[in-house]
Chains A and B, each alone.
Chain A
Amino acid sequence: MNARRVVVTGLGMVTPLGVGVPRNWQAMLDGESGVKRISRFDVSTMAVQIAGEVAPLPRVPEDAAVPDLGIHARFALVAAREAWADSGLARARVDPERVGVFLGSGKGISEIERLTEACKAALAAKGLFDYAAFVRALAKDFSPTRREQEDYYNSGSHVARAVGARGPNWVCITACAAGNHAIGEAYRAIRRGDADAILAGGTHSQVDLMSLSGYATLGALSPRNDEPHRASRPFDRKRDGFILGEGSGVLVLEAYEHARRRGARLRAEVVGYGNTADCYRVTDPQPEGERVELAMRLALKSAGLAPGDIDYINAHGTSTQQNDAMESGAIKRIFGGRGEAPPVSSTKSMIGHLIAAAGAVEAIACVRALEEGVMPPTTNYEHTDPACDLDYVPNEPREKKLLHAMNNSFGFGGQNIVTILKRL
């Protein structure tokens, strides 16, 4: 039996650059930055005060019935509705049991302020934490539905409900790789015949007090509070950490025959997928990027392609010292050095790191790049780094006829995901 081909028939996204694929794509080609001083809460005493915020938060029809809708579900609904409309599947006659939802989904813990009165009551008497006092005070004003709506899985539930998708539905969280992971697994599921169409992608929000504090304490974030636009600078020698971003990207993946039969616009084909684990440390990537290299090689192998077939790489490129050097090294071992390796760029330079949504948003950038024959730039690239000596499409988009694009995503904790997209 020939495995089924899988194509992309719909795209939707919301990022710090705005809502919708047309707006985002134009902004990326213009090299705009969505990184700003955080406006959602008071950050004046925090070590890191900048992020890629989506502001204002988009409204969704669910607001009427679900007052506690999680911010990650909100972003996913916006992106999924755009992708669904773009695919034309709403008008086509599809079996809802053959439509699935695979999402990478993450959400920061944002309940600390809401626990103030309960914790004060519990700690009123010096010494032990008084649980009885805690529960008495908490029961007064604690919203259990709000907490439930903030759970990761709810993004997948809301999206499925919004489009009436009754097929396979799962939500994964492999940190920064999750969005690309969902695309890879959806590709496999459709190939296998488990569904005819899957809304695949990622959604994330960690622009909240605790996440900002937690990542900053780990030393992962850039502290360039005075120049937010210039803070995310992947592959630049003076890069000093990533920028938290938020948003969502959703793609409609569909069986080729199914899409063709209904006369859908075929925007790209998913042709390769590789998945490995670093097994190094939970806080750092393995410095030589051996497992990252293997993920890229596995993706090439699954696509039946040679390194020379890849025309563009959308890098993980987080703007941390470690990631960007490691990723560049792994690329060089497969594709060769400057002049041999394809151009590599990181759209995180403009929107920050959307964590579980990052890989999906970057997959959409790859699809647009393939369609338009233009590669989005790595902005803020000013100082060459001997450890990063590839062509990073610095600061300006570049036209080039592209056939295959590779999308890299590496998760905090060591999950490495690589997918390959092809122009049709």
Chain B
Amino acid sequence: MKRRIVVTGFGALAPNGNTAESFWSATCEGKSGIARIESFEPTGFAVQAAGEVKGFDPAKFVPNRKALKVMGRNIRFGVAASRMAMEHSGLLEAPPDPARFGVVMGSGIVPTDVEEVGQAILASLDEAGRFDLRRFGTSGQKTLFPLWLLKHLPNMVAAHVSIFHQAQGPNNTIVTACSASTQAIGEAMRILERGDADVMLAGGADSRIDPLSLVAYTLLGALSTSARAPDKVSRPFDRDRDGFVLGEGAAVLVLETEEHAKARGATIYAECVGYGSSFDAFAATQPEPEGRGAVQSMREALKDASLSPDDVDYISAHGTSTVLNDLAETVAVKKLFGARAPKVPMSSIKSMIGHLIGAAGALEAVVSVLAIRDGILPPTINYDTKDPACDLDYVPNEARRAKVRTVLSNSFGFGGQNASLVLREYAG
């Protein structure tokens, strides 16, 4: 018999809320966390809007100052979200068997700290002002924090989380850009299903609101350069969408076998019933216009759940607010859901928090669980003008009450990796 996998806790750190519950209530109220960048002065940048996490105090979660020094911002987010998830699940006080307890996190490239590297560059210049490798060796590298490399290894999020909670079981880090944390949750499901662990922490953590990433994503043409007010820029499925907005944060879910959850009397918030993954064999950084790969990942996830498209009550969209993604996703949903497509509500929380890349899918999974728990569909805000090509029900601007039994959560990666999850009301 296939083991059933349930969600027994979650923690989140988002641009519009520093706990899962505050993030969820802000999201249901349509409150945007996107504002003018504050972590550095963005004057002169073509893009100045982003979804930054505000007022976060890492020392609240990591009292050990030495440990904190080797944690980059993304690692701090991940550890904080994991702690909140553990607390929520009741496992912080009564930890599971360490050998049967694992971690899978979505993560990615950790951006270069240009202020830090800038000093190393200055110390490496020759007389003509060129970067001189020899001088880097003699003096440039000495200006760097000796343990800087530890902040730049993507697997360190999962490594710190596992050390923090003594999760000595399976440990993995997925780095498939925008799909990473959805795949991380899917991988954790597989590990539990086959009996390799009883409890898994699964999610993602990412932070790319830094000068270099901002320039790089802008030059790639991925970010919106709209002159609107920051909180109006991210507008998935709206006719006037013109690119995504960078967000940062983390979310971690406690996944558990049903048997283990029941034995310890845990509160069960939802059941993870399906996972599917596929690849778009199309051009890099662009989805297949026909949405073939997206259809495949949604179809595989539903098949895995032994459900049909008719069972889906709500779609948590990838909905990045780029012209191409939102169109391709709409086309794919229409293909898979047929005549029923306009009747299936589908919204994108990226309208409020931006695109958290390696953490995006994890935040969306938390929203999926809460939509089931509370019977509320979060809105797609900034939906002002209908796009004739995007003509589905995007839950525009206002949250909506609805009976939600089954949610399909989509993530489609920059590199062509697609992943979909199916979460369901736990019926015992």
Chain A interface (Cβ within 8 Å of chain B)? 41-47, 66, 96-97, 100-101, 105, 109, 111-113, 115-116, 118-120, 122-123, 129, 131-136, 138-139, 142, 144-145, 147-154, 156-157, 160-161, 164-175, 181, 185, 188-189, 192, 209, 211, 213-215, 217-218, 275-283, 291, 294, 298, 411-415
Asked if A276 contacts B149 (CB within 8 A), the reply is no
Q: Does B219 contact A (CB under 8 A)?
A: yes
Asked if B284 contacts A214 (CB within 8 A), the reply is no
| Interchain residue pairs A-B with the least CB separation, the first 7 | A45-B137, A132-B44, A214-B149, A413-B159, A144-B219, A119-B118, A277-B171
Which residues of B lie under 8 Å from residue A119 when comparing CB positions? 114, 117-118, 121-122
Asked if A45 contacts B138 (CB within 8 A), the reply is yes
Tell me, in angstroms, the Cα distance from A156 to B418 when the chains sit together. Answer: 12
Asked if B183 contacts A217 (CB within 8 A), the reply is no
Asked if B153 contacts A151 (CB within 8 A), the reply is no
Tell me, in angstroms, the Cα distance from A122 to B212 when the chains sit together. Answer: 13
Least Cβ–Cβ distance between B398 and chain A, in angstroms: 36
Q: Does B125 contact A (CB under 8 A)?
A: yes
Asked if A134 contacts B153 (CB within 8 A), the reply is no
Asked if A192 contacts B125 (CB within 8 A), the reply is no
Asked if B170 contacts A172 (CB within 8 A), the reply is no
Asked if A131 contacts B43 (CB within 8 A), the reply is yes
| B43 touches which of A132, A145, A283 (Cβ 8 Å) | A132
Chain B residues 96 to 116 lying within 8 A of chain A, measured CB to CB, are 98-99, 102-103, 107-109, 112, 114-115
Tell me, in angstroms, the Cα distance from A105 to B147 when the chains sit together. Answer: 22
Tell me, in angstroms, the Cα distance from A96 to B285 when the chains sit together. Answer: 21
Measured CB to CB, the nearest residue on chain A to B98 is: A279
Asked if B278 contacts A170 (CB within 8 A), the reply is no
Asked if A276 contacts B170 (CB within 8 A), the reply is yes
Q: Does B74 contact A (CB under 8 A)?
A: no
Asked if A139 contacts B168 (CB within 8 A), the reply is no
Q: Does B226 contact A (CB under 8 A)?
A: no
Asked if A139 contacts B219 (CB within 8 A), the reply is yes
Which residues of B lie under 8 Å from residue A414 when comparing CB positions? 159, 162-163, 171
Asked if B114 contacts A129 (CB within 8 A), the reply is yes
Tell me, in angstroms, the Cα distance from A133 to B280 when the chains sit together. Answer: 39
Measured CB to CB, the nearest residue on chain A to B142 is: A217
| A278 touches which of B168, B176, B277 (Cβ 8 Å) | B168
Asked if B278 contacts A168 (CB within 8 A), the reply is yes
Tell me, in angstroms, the Cα distance from A415 to B107 when the chains sit together. Answer: 15
Measured CB to CB, the nearest residue on chain A to B150 is: A282
Would A174 and B415 be within 8 Å (CB), given that A119-B114, A154-B284, A282-B150 are in contact? no
| Contacts across chains A and B counted by CB atoms under 8 Å | 275
Asked if A152 contacts B175 (CB within 8 A), the reply is yes
Asked if A275 contacts B169 (CB within 8 A), the reply is yes
Which residues of A lie under 8 Å from residue B413 when comparing CB positions? 153
Asked if B153 contacts A153 (CB within 8 A), the reply is no
Which residues of A lie under 8 Å from residue B159 when comparing CB positions? 277, 282, 413-415
Which residues of A lie under 8 Å from residue B153 when comparing CB positions? 173, 175, 412-413
Least Cβ–Cβ distance between A116 and chain B, in angstroms: 4
Which residues of B lie under 8 Å from residue A149 when comparing CB positions? 284
Least Cβ–Cβ distance between B124 and chain A, in angstroms: 8
Least Cβ–Cβ distance between B143 and chain A, in angstroms: 11
Which residues of A lie under 8 Å from residue B117 when comparing CB positions? 112, 115, 119
Least Cβ–Cβ distance between B384 and chain A, in angstroms: 30
Asked if A134 contacts B114 (CB within 8 A), the reply is yes
Would A153 and B176 be within 8 Å (CB), given that A148-B285, A166-B281, A277-B102 are in contact? yes
List 8 additional A-B contacts (Cβ < 8 Å) besides A44-B134, A276-B170.
A45-B137, A115-B118, A119-B122, A153-B175, A172-B173, A192-B190, A275-B172, A412-B155
Asked if B118 contacts A171 (CB within 8 A), the reply is no
Asked if B131 contacts A277 (CB within 8 A), the reply is no
17 A–B pairs (Cβ distance < 8 Å), ordered by A: A116-B121, A131-B40, A132-B43, A138-B215, A142-B215, A152-B109, A153-B417, A156-B279, A160-B279, A166-B296, A169-B278, A172-B173, A173-B173, A181-B172, A277-B167, A277-B171, A282-B156
Tell me, in angstroms, the Cα distance from A150 to B212 when the chains sit together. Answer: 14
Least Cβ–Cβ distance between B170 and chain A, in angstroms: 4
Tell me, in angstroms, the Cα distance from A291 to B122 when the chains sit together. Answer: 44
Asked if B176 contacts A45 (CB within 8 A), the reply is no
Asked if A279 contacts B162 (CB within 8 A), the reply is yes
Asked if A168 contacts B277 (CB within 8 A), the reply is yes
Q: Does B227 contact A (CB under 8 A)?
A: no
Which residues of A lie under 8 Å from residue B146 when comparing CB positions? 217-218
Asked if A120 contacts B215 (CB within 8 A), the reply is no
Would A97 and B296 be within 8 Å (CB), given that A215-B149, A282-B159 are in contact? yes
Q: Does B425 contact A (CB under 8 A)?
A: no
Asked if B279 contacts A166 (CB within 8 A), the reply is yes
Which residues of A lie under 8 Å from residue B44 when comparing CB positions? 131-133, 135-136
Asked if B219 contacts A161 (CB within 8 A), the reply is no
Which residues of A lie under 8 Å from residue B183 when comparing CB positions? 170
Which residues of B lie under 8 Å from residue A100 when comparing CB positions? 277, 279
Which residues of A lie under 8 Å from residue B190 when comparing CB positions? 188-189, 192
Which residues of B lie under 8 Å from residue A118 when comparing CB positions? 114
| B169 touches which of A43, A112, A277 (Cβ 8 Å) | A277
Asked if A152 contacts B154 (CB within 8 A), the reply is yes
Q: Does B60 contact A (CB under 8 A)?
A: no
Measured CB to CB, the nearest residue on chain A to B109 is: A151
Q: Which of A100, A170, A209, A213 has the most CB of B within 10 A?
A: A170
Q: Does B416 contact A (CB under 8 A)?
A: yes
Asked if B176 contacts A169 (CB within 8 A), the reply is yes
Which residues of B lie under 8 Å from residue A276 when comparing CB positions? 99, 168-171
Which residues of A lie under 8 Å from residue B296 when comparing CB positions? 97, 166
| A115 touches which of B114, B156, B217 (Cβ 8 Å) | B114
Measured CB to CB, the nearest residue on chain B to A105 is: B175
Which residues of B lie under 8 Å from residue A136 when comparing CB positions? 44
Tell me, in angstroms, the Cα distance from A250 to B403 when the chains sit together. Answer: 47
Tell me, in angstroms, the Cα distance from A332 to B284 when the chains sit together. Answer: 48
Tell me, in angstroms, the Cα distance from A62 to B109 when the chains sit together. Answer: 23
Asked if B162 contacts A277 (CB within 8 A), the reply is yes
Tell me, in angstroms, the Cα distance from A133 to B119 when the chains sit together. Answer: 15
Least Cβ–Cβ distance between B257 and chain A, in angstroms: 16
Tell me, in angstroms, the Cα distance from A281 to B118 when the chains sit together. Answer: 30
Q: Does B402 contact A (CB under 8 A)?
A: no
Which residues of B lie under 8 Å from residue A189 when comparing CB positions? 190
